[in-house]
Amino acid sequence: MLRDIAERRRLLICVVHLPPLPGSARYGGDLEEIVDFAVKCARNAEDGGADAVIVENFNDNPFLKKPSLETLIAMSVIVREVVKNVSICVGVNVLRNACSEAVCIASICGASFIRCNAYCQPVTCPEGIVEPEAGHVWRTMRSLGRRIEVLADINVKHAYPLYSPDPEDLVHDCVDRCLADFLVITGTRTGHPPDPNAVCNICRISSVPVLVGSGVNPSNIVLYKCAKGIIVGTYIKDERGIIDPRRVERIRRELDSL
């Protein structure tokens, strides 16, 4: 599990940004091509030294708060193939905030963790008002009989919290009341880095590992040495959107040198 790896070294988690899936507005009609894309990206991430990959329906925008049945089935097919083809940890993030559905996919398809954008605080975003999912996530795990690790965003990107508690209170709500395994800190948008001081403040408060979830690259990674790892998507892609193992290897070296 990710917690076991995080006890030995800083985590490098790479994001597989999927092309538009069935049920989304821009699906191209060839699911097998998407499966091949996802498996190639995951293998490249593993070859470059990643500890894990997250499979994410990144290009299904404009998003629904809860995606269609077609999208969930497609995600299940893709995640299962990725799990079968790599030996590193595999996670699931179903945008915009289908966290209990992600638990189902992870549990049934053999993945080990999920990322949940609105886990312990309500937010407003282009998709509307999104309510926190922690209670649903844990009841789903209970019903399925499988423990899935939870990476919980706080003050997630592309959204605005409907209330802004003191950072210490927010962290305790997510960890103590809502049982998050990791906290994820992002900038305001995809590819935008968060404030390093804010990250270090959360690291100081949190009793669980903190991950930087956007905007990290080899030139700024040193600013986040207080964190237990990074989730990286934008930097590691080539011009086709495929994960480049050489870029993964480079950021792995930088992470290990901190």
Class for the domain spanning 2-257: alpha beta
Q: What pLDDT, on a 0 to 100 scale, did the predictor assign at position 164?
A: 76
Q: What pLDDT, on a 0 to 100 scale, did the predictor assign at position 163?
A: 81
Mean pLDDT within 180-189: 96
Mean pLDDT within 107-130: 97
Q: What pLDDT, on a 0 to 100 scale, did the predictor assign at position 4?
A: 96
CA 81 and chain centroid, separation: 18
Q: What pLDDT, on a 0 to 100 scale, did the predictor assign at position 28?
A: 95
Please state, as a whole number, how many other Cβ atoms lie within 10 Å of the Cβ of residue 213. Answer: 32
Describe the crossing of helices 69-85 and 31-48 by its angle, rounded to 10 degrees: 40
| pTM assigned to the model | 0.97
Average pLDDT over the chain, rounded to an integer? 97
Q: How many helices (H) and strands (E) in the chain?
A: 8, 11
Mean pLDDT within 234-253: 96
Q: What pLDDT, on a 0 to 100 scale, did the predictor assign at position 244?
A: 98
pLDDT in tens, 199-227: 999 999 999 999 999 999 999 999 999 99
Mean pLDDT within 171-188: 96
Q: What pLDDT, on a 0 to 100 scale, did the predictor assign at position 165?
A: 80
Per-residue pLDDT at 195 exceeds 80: yes
CA distance 223 to 96: 29
79 to 34, 88, 189: CA distances (angstroms) = 11, 13, 25
CA distance 159 to 96: 11
pLDDT in tens, 67-99: 999 999 999 999 999 999 999 999 999 999 999
Report whether 103 contacts 111 (CB < 8 A): no
